[in-house]
Each structure stands twice: as structure tokens, then as C-alpha cells.
Amino acid sequence: MADSGKFPALRSREYRLFFFGQIISLSGTWMQSVAQGWLVYSLTKSPFYLGLIAAFGSLPILLFSLFGGIVADRIIKRNLLLLTQSLSIIPAFFLGILTDMNLIKVWHVAFFATFLGTVNAFDIPARQSFIIELVGEKNLMNAIALNSTVFHGARLIGPVIAGIAIAYLGLPACFYLNAMSFTAILFALSKIKVKSNVREKTKGFIKDLIEGIKFVISKSDIYRIILLIAVFSLVGLPYVALLPVFAVEVLKAGPQGFGFLVGATGGGAFLAGLFLSYRGNVENKLQLMSISGICFSLFLLIFSISKSFYLSIIALLFIGWGSVSFFATANSFVQLSVTDELRGRVVSVYAFVFLGFAPIGNYLIGILADTFGVTKAVSLSSIICIIASLLFSVAYIQRIFLRFHESKDT
């Protein structure tokens, strides 16, 4: 069982270092995300290029994250993270210089977005599978929930700092500050001392890759979780790309309303991470995944048909809560169901589906929105998510009844 105290993962010195290093580093990352969007739109005045640059950043995760998982199982994860975090400084530094010297072009941004996406394809499996080495199995879910809290807390803090920096220091300052922010996580990683789980014997890249995929398919619970994540990533989560259209055309709320819509999603996500962190551990993870998956899907439907700004805000709060509750719980469930020697590869499958499907999902939702309109596109997406969530929950409920009858017979 996990520790009964609140936030038990923070009792680990190594995790505390990692946790506080991430607060600073991720705030810088969100600063750069805002600054990069502002920069691209300033250069092109084109929403198309905003989507294109986002695709350049996420496509490498689809292409390389599975190989990133193999590398994470073969190399000491702390050392791999030191490398990936060091490489992540390069795009921020050069974007700052090129912007400062008025030499920046859209292709520069596309190149560095692709570079950073490739680094992230190796960073994400290593980072996710590194957590269990810091806190152990019993506090893994608490640590993952705390990570979600940090991520979405930074999502609230970083853009605010970015806005102030752009207004008073200029756009390049955001990139420079992000480059500096990586020193926090690099310092933390340099001080962390853990025994890393590394595979000494390998069968070659392809066989190692197939072994990880076969494991996922052979475990029915993990396989069903991955399938539901695939549905959410392809047709559920891409609603975020259409929030500006909802703000302007559907809700008539303008750019200020758009900010509130984004903030509501982040606020719900932050509350979910905070709740799970405070809870410490959830024994019945499948039950929470069933509830949160249905919550995300149902409120996505409510948001898609809402004409009220305030109802939309409430719906987005629950969408943010449901998505983070589901994904954080799914992450911990998957990691606790796998052996140390397979963890990096199985986590890479999780990342491949969760993050790698994002560019495909954004493309699909764009086609649907152009064909049927944004309201119908998101409504259709939400109905698909509701059906998938109910199918996932039915399998869980059937298992409960089966166990009940077995216990009754005995």
C-alpha cells in the first residue's frame, strides 16, 4: 500500500529535486509555446502555419517515440534525461538569437520545432519510466499525479509570464528565459542518485520493439486502455485546436473569451492533478478510469452544443478534470502492470498513441470542421468518445459481476 500521508511521493529526496526542477523548466516550456505561436502568427498572419508548425513539433513523436522507449530500456534514464534536457536548450537559444537579430524566418521555427519534437520522442519515455525509480511502485500514482499538477500549473503560470515578458522585455526574452529554465532540471538531475534499471541483454532494435508491442496486446486491461487512449487522442483531444473558433464564431466571446476557455480547461486539469496528488493512491484504478473517461466524453458533447459562454466554461472544467484523471490513472496502471525491463518500451507505446496520434487527430478534426462546421464536428467526436468510454466501462462492470457471482458460489 502507498503511504497514508498526503503527497507521499514528496517524501523522496530524489523526487523532490525532480519535482521542483520541473516546475521551473515546464514554466519556461509553456512560455516558449506561447511565444512561438505569437512569433509564427506575427510572421505569417496565417492560422494554417500555426497548425503546420504544431504538426512539425508533434510528428517526430509519432515517428520515433517507440524507438525512444527501446533506448530508455538500454541506457541509464537519468543520463538520457540529462542529454535530452541539454539538447532542448538549443532551439530556445537559437530562436531567441534569430528573433533578437530580426533574422527569423518561418522555416527556422519549423526546423527547431522538428528538432525539439525529435528530442521529446526520446525524452518522454525516459521521463515517464524514470519516475518509478524515484518513488517506487507504491507511490507511483501519487508521483504521476503530482507531475500532472506541475504540468498544468506551469500551463497557467508560463503563459502569464510570457505575456508580461513580451509586453515589457520583447519576444526574444521568452526564448532566452526558457533556455535558462532548463538549468533547474539539469541541476536536479545531476544531484539525483538512483539505481537505474537497464537491460543488459538485447535482441536487436526490431525484436525489442516487437516484444514491447506484444506485451501490450497480450494484457487485455492494458490493450483496452491503449485503445481508449487512441480514440481520445484521435477524435477527443483535438477539440483544443478549435477553441478559437468556438470563442469567436459560436460563443461570440472574442479573444478575451478564448483566454477564459483555455484557462477553464487548464484549471480543471490542474484540480484533477491536485486531487489525485492529495489522495495519494487510488486502489480501484479501472473504476476511476471508467468514471473519468465518461465524464470527459459527456461534457465534451455538452460543450459542443452549448451556446452559453458560462455553460461552456463549466463543461471545459469537467473536460479538463476528466482527461487528466483518466490519463494520469492510466499511466500509473500501465507502469505498475509491466516489469522493469519492459517499462520504457511499454511507456513508449503509451506515448506513441497519446501524443503521436495528435497530428492525425488535428488533421481529422480540421477536415470534419471544414465539412460540417465546428459544432457538428466536435459533437460527432464526442459521441464516438462516449461510445468508446461506455464499451470500456461495460467490460469493467462485467468483471465486477463475474467476481461477485464467483464469490457467491464459493
130, 242: one domain: no
Residue 56 lies in a domain: yes
Which residue, 190, 212, 234, sits at the end of a domain?
A: 190
> What is the tens place of the pLDDT at every residue in 256-300?
677 678 778 888 888 888 888 777 666 778 888 999 999 999 999
Which of 180-194, 237-251, 273-287 bottoms out in mean pLDDT, i.e. has the lowest? 273-287
Q: Which cell is 134 given?
A: 524515484
> What is the tens place of the pLDDT at every residue in 355-402?
778 778 877 887 788 788 889 989 999 999 999 999 998 877 766 666
What value does the mean pLDDT take over residues 167-182? 92
Residue 196 lies in a domain: no
> What is the tens place of the pLDDT at every residue in 35-65?
887 788 788 876 677 667 877 888 888 888 8
213, 180: one domain: no
Report the C-alpha gap between 384 and 304 in whole angstroms: 13
Contact (Cβ atoms closer than 8 angstroms) between residue 330 and residue 209: no
Contact (Cβ atoms closer than 8 angstroms) between residue 40 and residue 53: yes
**The pLDDT value given to residue 409:** 58
250, 382: one domain: yes
**Long-range contacts formed by 195-200: CB under 8 A, 24+ apart:** 195/133, 196/76, 196/77, 196/78, 196/133, 197/133, 197/340, 197/341, 197/343, 198/73, 198/74, 198/75, 198/76, 199/73, 199/74, 199/341
229, 323: one domain: yes
Report the C-alpha gap between 13 and 365 in whole angstroms: 44
Contact (Cβ atoms closer than 8 angstroms) between residue 303 and residue 316: yes
315, 250: one domain: yes
What value does the mean pLDDT take over residues 250-256? 78
What value does the mean pLDDT take over residues 119-133? 89
Residue 1 has pLDDT above 50, yes or no: no
343, 226: one domain: yes
Residue 358 lies in a domain: yes
273, 367: one domain: yes
Report the C-alpha gap between 231 and 182 in whole angstroms: 33
121, 245: one domain: no
Domain that holds residue 234: 204-410
**The pLDDT value given to residue 183:** 95
Residue 136 has pLDDT above 50, yes or no: yes
Report the C-alpha gap between 237 and 232 in whole angstroms: 6
Q: What is the mean pLDDT of the chain?
A: 84
Residue 105 lies in a domain: yes
Q: Which cell is 298 given?
A: 459527456
Report the C-alpha gap between 126 and 3 in whole angstroms: 25
Report the C-alpha gap between 323 and 265 in whole angstroms: 10
Number of domains the chain contains = 2
236, 140: one domain: no
Residue 156 has pLDDT above 50, yes or no: yes
166, 218: one domain: no
Q: Where are the beta strands (DSSP E) in 71-205?
A: none
Residue 179 has pLDDT above 90, yes or no: yes
Return left, alpha or beta for 45; rule: phi > 0 is left, psi -120 to 50 is alpha, else beta.
left
**The pLDDT value given to residue 312:** 94
Which of 193-202, 245-254, 338-347 bottoms out in mean pLDDT, i.e. has the lowest? 193-202
Q: Which cell is 308 given?
A: 452559453
**This prediction's pTM:** 0.76
> At 213, which CATH number?
1.20.1250.20
Which residue, 190, 212, 232, sits at the end of a domain?
A: 190
Cα–Cα distances in angstroms (integers) from residue 19 to residues 186, 187, 335, in the given order: 12, 12, 19
43, 148: one domain: yes
> What is the tens place of the pLDDT at every residue in 81-121?
999 999 999 999 999 999 999 999 999 999 999 999 999 99
What value does the mean pLDDT take over residues 296-307? 96
Residue 405 has pLDDT above 70, yes or no: no
Residue 197 lies in a domain: no
158, 237: one domain: no
Q: What percent of the chain has pLDDT over 90?
A: 34
Report the C-alpha gap between 74 and 89 in whole angstroms: 24
Residue 230 has pLDDT above 90, yes or no: yes
Residue 195 lies in a domain: no
Which residue, 140, 164, 190, sits at the end of a domain?
A: 190
